[in-house]
Amino acid sequence: MKFRCEREILAEALATAGRAATSRSGTLPVLSGVRLDVKDGDLTVTGTDLELTIRLSVHVHSDQNGSAVVPARLVADIVKALPAGAVEVSIADDEMSISAGRSQFSVRPLSLSDYPAQVEPGGEPVTLASAEVGNALRQVVRAASTDDARAVLTGVLIASEDDGLKMVATDSYRLAVRNLPQSSILATGQKVLVPGRALAELQRILSGDDELTVRLGTREAVFEVGATRLTTRLIEGEYPNYRNLLPSSHPNILTVGREALLEALRRVKILAQDSTPVRLTLGGDTLQLTAITQDVGNAAEEIDASYDGAEMTVAFNPDYLAAGIDAIDGDEITLATMDPMKPAVLRGVGHDEYLYLLMPVRVP
Amino acid sequence: MVKADGCVAIHADGGAYKPLNWMNAPNTIAEITDGDPRQWVITNPKKETLTITLYEVISDSAHELGDDPGLQKDGVEAHLQELLATSPHTIEDGLTLVRREYPTAIGPIDLVCRDPDNVVVAIEVKRRGDIDGVEQLARYIERLELDSSLGAIRGVFVAQSIKPQAKVLAESRGFTWVEVDYDTLRGIAPDELRLF
């Protein structure tokens, strides 16, 4: 195999596919590599850890077709470090040579025959607007759990409903729900659980005005954007009934500027150390945020707000609260609560398609 | 190494606790002494065999180690005490902590609390509750009773699991006993509320 490619393009392709390659020991050693296939001017780079596969093609100037598996991390680091301009790559039996300008590297490839075969996607392709899906992923994926102990919660539920698509994620402390009206990739009533990690990668791949093509199988989901294809295994299991968690009424509603709240929280949070919460004192036309860390100090800030309800103090994990406010679209947000021990609901004013439910923290 | 229960393990200088090869009990060991070198043939109920050829015997000794005393992990016990100190209500409703490691002349008491009637409650925490632990609690309470300012004192014996004899002894001494679940206690993040 022999090809020539611009450094930027090659580095980007290696980095993207390399994110699906595994660095975990104990798995198949060849999975720490990326597979390169050169065919008539197209280089295809594939990375997989058997759960998630990322494959993309770029145009190169090829002299000789061929396939090889090379160490993902090492080769990506080399290409990234090369001087700008064209990079020449050639791979013979047991040597990969990479050169650019006066730099010259030679790397041992991994075993091509050990690399798992890639399955071509089945299922009906459905096209979605990538900008809208990208924003929905940004809002929802953050609430998915990263704790493998409860695998179901590491997924994002994508469910088809009468009025379109619903995306749901929760880590049992918070819950994000996003509606995508008029989008349909599933039969009505059907639902799948897609790993949050795969969707976080998809979010990075989605850009600009590209169209996103989705194919949902029974065991895997395939997402295609331009020349990049992401395949992920679906999570099996029963998702918690999140509808029961959504409170039916909220007697207390706070309306506050999104940016002002986020800024104030960012400052006050500095003194919410060692997982101490940030307290929100609700009442009148100001919102007070306070944080107290024993033996360290405390912080307080007041911001203008309008509040309709009983006076109370409710406390939250500052990171979870900030993540929720950050996810919301619009200039103003509402925080609706029942009492300091019940989940609070954050929404953007005029943006009913998204809600972020957050459990408070008990404070004395 | 041949253990009293019959299991056989072949160890090397490295590899920590992991044997190079082994055969679990129950099994039978036949020593074949007529050949040179000697061989041991270990056979399990599935008729699988492990044959060990002994080329050189440097030392051959047998030691009686007696009853298995069980493994006591101090880390867990200390953590258990810590968890119970932050949520004494899991031992008994309405308890409030006075002090962890309450000092006495014969050693510190794990937890000293007060109940809603303001009665002092001395608590001994163990991983495995047996008679020794109950006796220990009794000795501590004797010491505490020397201090008349404390008033009446109750004893509570807390462990992950308590042996039946220890339960009987605790009751006969007028103590109450409570079995607690370590994993559940660990799962109780004191202030973090969950959606489900």
d(CA A303, CA A284): 11
Decide the pairing of beta strands A351-358 and A174-181. antiparallel
A156 near A171, Cβ under 8 Å? no
| Contact between B195 and A174 using a beta-carbon 8 Å cutoff | yes
* Cα atoms in the Cβ-side hemisphere of radius 13 Å centred on A197: 18
Q: How confident is the model at residue A128 (pLDDT cuts 50, 70, 90)?
A: confident
Q: How confident is the model at residue A194 (pLDDT cuts 50, 70, 90)?
A: very high
| Gap from B86 CA to chain A (nearest CA, Å) | 14
Six token digits for residue B17: 């606790």
d(CA A270, CA A253): 26
CB under 8 Å to B104, separation ≥6 — which residues? B140, B143, B144
| Contact between A362 and B195 using a beta-carbon 8 Å cutoff | no
A59 near A41, Cβ under 8 Å? yes
Residue A231 has pLDDT above 90, yes or no: yes
Of B68, B69, B77, nearest to B159 (Cα)?
B77
Residue A209 has pLDDT above 70, yes or no: no
Q: What pLDDT is stored for residue B189 in this prediction?
A: 53
Six token digits for residue B14: 């490295």
Mean pLDDT of A23-46: 89
ipTM computed for the complex: 0.71
Residue A9 has pLDDT above 70, yes or no: yes
| Gap from A149 CA to chain B (nearest CA, Å) | 13
d(CA A23, CA A82): 23
Q: What pLDDT is stored for residue A26 in this prediction?
A: 60
Write the DSSP symbol of residue A243: G
| Contact between B193 and A240 using a beta-carbon 8 Å cutoff | no
CB under 8 Å to A364, separation ≥6 — which residues? none
pLDDT digits (tens, 9 = 90+) for A91-106: 998 899 999 999 999 9
Whole-number percent of chain A with pLDDT over 70: 98
B13 backbone dihedrals φ, ψ, rounded to 5°:
-65, -30
| Gap from B196 CA to chain A (nearest CA, Å) | 6
Mean pLDDT of A272-282: 88
Residue A294 has pLDDT above 80, yes or no: no
Q: What is the pTM of this model?
A: 0.67
Instruction: List, as ranges, residues 160-189 from A with C-beta within 8 Å of B.
Output: 170, 172-175
A112 near A68, Cβ under 8 Å? yes
Sheet holding A2-6, edge to edge: A61-64, A2-6, A86-92, A95-100, A103-107
B65 near B112, Cβ under 8 Å? no
Mean pLDDT of A81-90: 95
Q: What pLDDT is stored for residue B188 in this prediction?
A: 55
Write the DSSP symbol of residue B92: S
pLDDT digits (tens, 9 = 90+) for B112-129: 999 989 899 999 999 889
∠ Cα B126 B127 B133 (to 5°): 35
Of B165, B174, B164, nearest to B137 (Cα)?
B174
A117 backbone dihedrals φ, ψ, rounded to 5°:
-70, 145
User: Is residue B191 within 8 angstroms of chain A, CB to CB?
Assistant: yes
**Which stretches in chain B have pLDDT values below 50?**
none
User: Is residue B192 within 8 angstroms of chain A, CB to CB?
Assistant: yes
Smallest Cβ–Cβ distance between A245 and the set B190, B191, B195 belongs to: B195
Q: What pLDDT is stored for residue A77 in this prediction?
A: 96
Helix (H), strand (E) at residue A75: helix A72-81
- Higher pLDDT: A320 or B33? It is A320
CB under 8 Å to B78, separation ≥6 — which residues? none
User: Is residue A246 within 8 angstroms of chain B, CB to CB?
Assistant: no
Six token digits for residue B195: 């959606």
d(CA B95, CA A214): 57
Q: Report the mean per-residue pLDDT for chain A.
A: 92
Burial class (CB in 10 A: 0-12, 13-18, 19+), B50: middle
Looking up tokens 């203008």 gives A304
CA distances (Å), origin A70, targets A29, A113, A195, A232: 11, 12, 27, 22
d(CA A258, CA A355): 14
